[in-house]
Every structure is written in C-alpha cells, then in structure tokens.
C-alpha cells in the first residue's frame, strides 16, 4: 500500500457511476478501416452490375445491324470492361480491399470502353446516362485525384466525339444515329452532357466527404465510449480500496507515540496497512505514518516487503520520491514507516476527474518520474508496481511536483530470493511489462515499460491492455502491443506516439534502456529534435507493430 493523499478521502464521497458491463464482442471497425471495407463492398456490387450489363449488350450486338468491324470493336470493349469489372468484384470479395492500383486500372478501362460503346450506340443517344451512373461510382472512390481524372477522361472523350461528329470529321454510325438532327441540338448535347458528367463526379465527391465526416464522428464517439468504459472499469477495480478510506477517524494506533511523533486519525487504508496523520510535539501534522495491519506481521512475505519498502525508500534522495524519515517497530512489535506527508492527488484520482492529460503534462510526469527511477535503478532497485495510484501530483510551496510512491513490492536485483520466487507475477496487471506478465526475470526496463503504460493511459483514456479477468489481461500483454495510441487520441503528436512505441516495445532490447535515456529523449522532443526517437520507433514497430 502506498502513500495515501487527501484526495483518497474525498474520493469516498464522490458520486460513483456503475461500471459499464464488458462483453467479448470484437471492437467495431473505425475510420479509414471502415472506408476501405465500404469501398470494397461498392466495388463488388458495381463490378457485378457492370459485368451483367456488358453481357446483356454483347448478346444483342449481332442483332443491331452494324458492320463487323464495329461489332468487333464494341465486343472487345464490352468483354474488356465486363472482364475487368468481374475481376474487381472477385478481388474485393476475396481480399476485402479495392486497392488504388486496381481502382485506376478499372477507371481507365471504363473510360476507353465507354468511348467505343457510345460511338457504337450513338453519341447523341441516351447512352451517356449509363456513363454518368458509372461516374457516380468512381466519383466516390477514396482517392480524389483519380476519381476526378476518371470523370475528366469520360467527359473529355465524350466532348471530343461530339465535336468531331458535329463538325463532320467522323460519320455518325451509331445504332441511334443523330442523322438529320438540328445543329443546335448537337451543340447543346456536346456542351451539356460533359457538364452533367463532371457535376456527377462533384456530387459523388461531396457524398464521399459527408461519409468521411460521419465515419470520423462515429469513430470519435466510439473512442470516447471505449475510454469511458475503460475508465469505469478502472474506477471499479479501485472502488473497494477507496471505500476503505477513513475520514480522519481514530484507528487502532491513534495516540501511539513513536519517538517524537504521535499518531492521529486514519487518513488512508489499504490492503496491508493503515496510514495515520503524524503530529510532532508542537501539534503539527507534518508526517504520515504507515502501520502494518494487525495479523499481517506473522506473514513473513508481507512483513519483509513492508520493511524493505522502508529500507529502500529511506536511501532515496530524489525530490520525486516520497521521502522516508524512519522505519522500525513499535514497542509491541508493530512495523511502521514514518514518511513525508505529501499533499496532493495521485494520478488515479486526477484521471477519475479528467480522463486524459495534456501531452506536455504527461512529458513532465515521465521526466520527473524518470528522475526518481534513475536513482532507484542506480542502487539496483526495480519498483515493479508503477501505476497511476503510485504517482502523486504533490503540492509543494505553490508548485506541483510528480512523486513516485510505494516501493512495497520493489525488488533488489540479485537479492530478492527470500521475497519473490522464480515465476511469481508481482504487480498490477494492466501496467505490467510482457516479461513481468510471463513471470520472467525483470530489470529496470520493466519499470520503463510500466511507466509508458501509465503515459498511454493518461494520453488515450484507456489502459494499453484490458480484459475481463487479470489472467486474460496478462495473456494480452504477453502476446504483443496494444492499439496505436494515435488511433485512440488522433490529436497526439507523432513524436509522442514514437516515444510510446519505444517505451512499450515488447522486446526489451528495442525499448528505452534506462531512465536517464528516457529523460534525454524527452528533452529532445521538447526541443523539436525528433529524428532519433522517430528512427528508433520505426525499428521497434518493424519488429512488432501496433495491434489492429
């Protein structure tokens, strides 16, 4: 149990929103992913329709009374367009995609075939209506320049044919030839039909923009809903501990004197201990005293961890660690730790009030926490339980400072066999490193992963890995990366995404290697020098990409 702040007491009186039930349903498709699938679905439908129309017209060609060269030319055009369309439909159906290269080839074939078919059936006939229908499909493509290129190609080829026929350069040999039609009518068709084609593309592009905007709104609403659900689950996990918090009421050891310190009321409770306000001889409540719960002193593992917390923290001098002034046992043998009474909110409480923190504040939290970890790691101490409730935004003389709390489950590398057996999993599942989740040996890089997981939570509103049970969460962590933080928080800068990619690398050798290195990378990002973190993140993501 770590240092309890004043916010823990206030949390007990806050309104509580029941957690959102979790299900095993897969996440909905979002943004660009949804649009890729939507375009593939349209390609399947359009391809099948065009292929059937081509076959229908091809079957009628022998009955239309044209010359065999024209029949051959239109047959080639119909077979080419129909074959291309059915190929696109099959590709989109089997792979669920309609790639840009295929979209462009399909559009080129359609423009060429349309010109031949229009000349065959009659440039001034209603055949142009079918071309406009085709442009309504191509105009909604994901690639705007290609869509406009196809529209301009179709309108341009029609204009060219219409002008050549009107000027008498070409003979009008269409099935529905405009022989004898007034010149004004031909000029009207030559001018209006291309405009209608281009307006069809413009309307299709407008529809596409509206679809993109709607999908973006739905994706953002989904992200917010998922973030709220994750937040509710996180609050629910902490609720039992929060409800145990006292309201400065007397406790079992209230009034106990530990040298110059007298214990007052309970200011916090946890699974293994109680925290009391500590008063000096002048009545000033300037320290906090953590006391092991009755009955746990006989538990050798709990006792060893409690006393080790005091021993470890007492030797740390970083201003970003809650200082321990003394530790030992009372006259009745009860273990206690006298520590700095840091006033402020832990990160868990901050995130309950505001699900996301600004990027600059997260960088500050990372840098100041890394300062604390650098000293701990220098002495071979691995914290093992970095999570939001173990990071406090302490108030100190009109300014705030992030402090690292609770070394109760920390390990001293090479000297921990009596407290933790090989294969034991110690820590908080949502913030564990992959090696910690597997029960492997850990080092300082495990703390850096956990700190990255805390930053991920603070920036996106969601923990990196979440599942209905702790075991399922550990399996997800061991399997690989979480979803890209920028897919959950689109406003996140590329440099911040790259830093998280390094901190959350499943492979330890690709991760940030030390707390000092982390601080150096943060300084580079603040200075706008992002090439190093970008290059290293690209290498880490090439080894293990973000989850879909």
- Residue holding tokens 């009628």? 60
Rounded-to-10 torsion of CA 165, 170, 175, 177: 40
- Residue 56's contacts (CB-CB under 8 Å, 6 or more residues apart) are none
List, for residues 298-347, the tens digit of each pLDDT value: 677 777 777 777 777 777 778 888 888 888 888 777 888 888 887 888 89
Say if residue 475 is exposed, middle or buried (CB neighbours under 10 Å; 0-12, 13-18, 19+): middle
* d(C-alpha 160, C-alpha 186), whole Å: 13
Q: How far is CA 75 from CA 60, 78, 296, in A?
A: 10, 5, 89
Report the share of the chain in percent with pLDDT over 90. Answer: 42
Q: Where are the beta strands (DSSP E) in 482-531?
A: none
Q: Report pLDDT for 480.
A: 85
Q: Which helix (H) or strand (E) holds 393?
A: strand 391-396
Query: Are 330 and 258 contacting, i.e. CB atoms less than 8 angstroms apart?
Result: yes
Nearest to 336 by CA among 316, 368, 310: 310
List, for residues 220-249, the tens digit of each pLDDT value: 776 666 666 666 656 555 554 444 444 457
* d(C-alpha 493, C-alpha 502), whole Å: 15
Residue 115 above 90 pLDDT?
yes
| Active-site annotation holder among 8, 172, 345, 385 | 385
Can you list the domains of the chain with their CATH numbers? 31-222 (no CATH), 249-340 (3.30.200.20), 344-543 (1.10.510.10)
State in Å, rounded, how far the first CA of the chain is from the last one. Answer: 36
Q: Report pLDDT for 417.
A: 42
With cut-offs at 50, 70 and 90, classify the pLDDT of residue 6. very low
* Tokens matching residue 83: 């074959």
Query: Are 372 and 318 contacting, i.e. CB atoms less than 8 angstroms apart?
Result: yes
* d(C-alpha 196, C-alpha 3), whole Å: 72
Q: 154-158, 310-314, 431-435, 476-480: which has the minimum mean pLDDT?
A: 310-314
- Residue 392's contacts (CB-CB under 8 Å, 6 or more residues apart) are 3, 5, 322, 342, 344, 345, 346, 347, 402, 403, 405
385 is catalytic: yes
- Write down the pTM of the prediction: 0.57
Query: Which neighbouring-strand residues pair with 285?
Result: 279
Query: Are 441 and 459 contacting, i.e. CB atoms less than 8 angstroms apart?
Result: no
Helices assigned H by DSSP within 244-325: 300-314
DSSP conformation class of 431: G
* d(C-alpha 341, C-alpha 394), whole Å: 10
Query: Are 276 and 258 contacting, i.e. CB atoms less than 8 angstroms apart?
Result: no
Q: Report pLDDT for 26.
A: 41
Q: Report pLDDT for 423.
A: 46
Measured over the CA atoms of residue 425, residue 427, residue 428 and residue 433, the dihedral's sign is negative
Nearest to 444 by CA among 393, 510, 383, 353: 383
Most confident of 203-207, 303-307, 354-358: 203-207
Query: Which neighbouring-strand residues pair with 416?
Result: none
* d(C-alpha 201, C-alpha 178), whole Å: 27
């Amino acid at each position: 149990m770590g240092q309890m702040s004043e916010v823990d007491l206030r949390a007990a009186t806050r309104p509580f929103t029941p957690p959102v039930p979790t299900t095993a349903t897969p996440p909905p498709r979002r943004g660009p992913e949804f649009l890729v699938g939507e375009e593939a679905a349209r390609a399947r439908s359009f391809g099948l329709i065009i292929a059937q129309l081509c076959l229908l017209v091809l079957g009628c060609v022998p009955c239309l009374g044209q010359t065999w060269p024209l029949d051959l030319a239109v047959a080639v055009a119909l077979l080419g367009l129909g074959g291309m369309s059915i190929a696109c439909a099959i590709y989109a159906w089997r792979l669920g995609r309609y790639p840009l290269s295929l979209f462009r080839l399909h559009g080129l074939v359609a423009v060429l075939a349309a010109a031949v078919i229009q000349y065959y059936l009659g440039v001034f006939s209603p055949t142009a209506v079918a071309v406009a229908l085709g442009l309504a499909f191509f105009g909604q493509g994901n690639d705007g320049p290609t869509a406009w290129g196809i529209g301009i190609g179709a309108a341009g080829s029609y204009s060219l044919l219409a002008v050549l026929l009107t000027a008498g350069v070409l003979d009008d040999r269409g099935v529905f030839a405009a022989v004898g039609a007034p010149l004004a009518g031909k000029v009207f068709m030559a001018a209006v039909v291309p405009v209608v084609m281009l307006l069809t593309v413009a309307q299709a592009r407008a529809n596409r923009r509206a679809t993109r905007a709607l999908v973006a709104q739905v994706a953002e609403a989904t992200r917010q809903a998922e973030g709220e659900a994750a937040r509710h689950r996180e609050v629910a996990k902490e609720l039992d501990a929060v409800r145990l918090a006292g309201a400065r009421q007397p406790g079992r050891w209230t009034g106990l004197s530990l040298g110059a310190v007298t214990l007052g009321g309970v200011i916090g409770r946890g699974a293994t201990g109680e925290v009391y306000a500590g008063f000096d001889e002048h009545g000033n409540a300037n320290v906090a005293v953590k006391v092991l719960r009755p009955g746990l002193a006989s538990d050798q593992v709990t006792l060893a961890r409690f006393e080790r917390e005091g021993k470890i923290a007492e030797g740390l001098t970083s201003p970003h660690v809650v200082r321990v002034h003394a530790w030992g046992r009372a006259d009745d043998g009860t273990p206690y730790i006298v520590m700095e009474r840091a006033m402020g909110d832990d990160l868990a409480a901050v995130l309950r009030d505001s699900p996301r923190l600004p990027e600059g504040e997260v960088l500050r939290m990372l840098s100041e926490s890394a300062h604390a970890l650098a000293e701990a790691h220098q002495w071979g101490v691995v914290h093992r339980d970095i999570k939001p409730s173990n990071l406090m935004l302490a108030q100190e003389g009109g300014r705030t400072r992030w402090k690292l709390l609770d070394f109760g489950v920390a390990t001293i590398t090479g000297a921990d066999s009596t407290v933790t057996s090989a294969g034991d999993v110690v820590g908080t599942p949502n913030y564990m490193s992959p090696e910690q989740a597997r029960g492997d040996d850990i080092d300082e890089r495990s703390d850096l992963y956990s700190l990255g997981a805390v930053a991920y939570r603070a920036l996106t509103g969601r923990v990196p890995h979440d599942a209905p049970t702790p075991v399922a969460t550990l399996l997800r962590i061991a399997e690989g990366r979480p979803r890209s933080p920028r897919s959950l928080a689109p406003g996140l800068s590329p440099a911040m995404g790259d830093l998280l990619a390094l901190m959350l690398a499943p492979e330890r050798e690709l991760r940030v290697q030390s707390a000092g290195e982390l601080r150096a990378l943060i300084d580079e990002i603040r200075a706008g020098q992002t090439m190093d973190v970008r290059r290293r993140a690209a290498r880490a993501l090439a080894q293990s990409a973000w989850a879909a």
